[in-house]
Amino acid sequence: MKKDIFNKLEQPAKIALEAIKNSMDGYKLNSFSKVEQKNAVLREFLSKYSYFLRESTWTKDDYTDDNLYYLDARDSLHSAAFPKISYNINVVNMADYENYNCYKLQVGDYTFVEDTEFFGWDDKGRPAKEWVVVTEAVYDLE
């Protein structure tokens, strides 16, 4: 009698066990693909933004107040988060030519810079443009 009950339960148990194994295999494949997707996103992120990422350590041992230490560290982080860049550009003074009077570039004027290494590319695949202010003019009279 026990053998009959065992025989009746054996087949459904094997089917249930096989279903569990199949679902676990599917879970492993799904999990593996999620890991691959995560790694692909990480690689894309690093290829795009690794130029901007910077690691450093800031320490000062002459503080006795934790709050002052925190505030100075925050100020240091803020200044490091916005790096100053400068460009030297050569400009032909078009204002000296007939019908180009409006193209005179002076200190204080706005123009734009395309720097694909620093600013990257826009959504349409073109070099990103960043507006800058001309802060200095040096004339080469050679």
**pTM of the predicted model as reported, rounded to 2 decimal places:** 0.37
Where are the chain's structural domains? 1-51, 53-83, 85-142
93-110 confidence digits (pLDDT tens): 787 888 888 777 788 888
Is the model's pLDDT at 51 over the cut of 70?
A: no
Q: Which residue has the higher pLDDT, 29 or 13?
A: 13
The secondary structure of the chain, three-state, reads CHHHHHHHHHHHHHHHHHHHHHHHHHHHHHHHHHHHHHHHHHHHHHHHHCCCCCCCCCCCCCCCCHHHHHHHHHHHHHHHHCCCCCCCCCCCCHHHCCCCHHHCCCCCCEEEEECCCCCCECCCCCECEEEEECCCCCCCCC
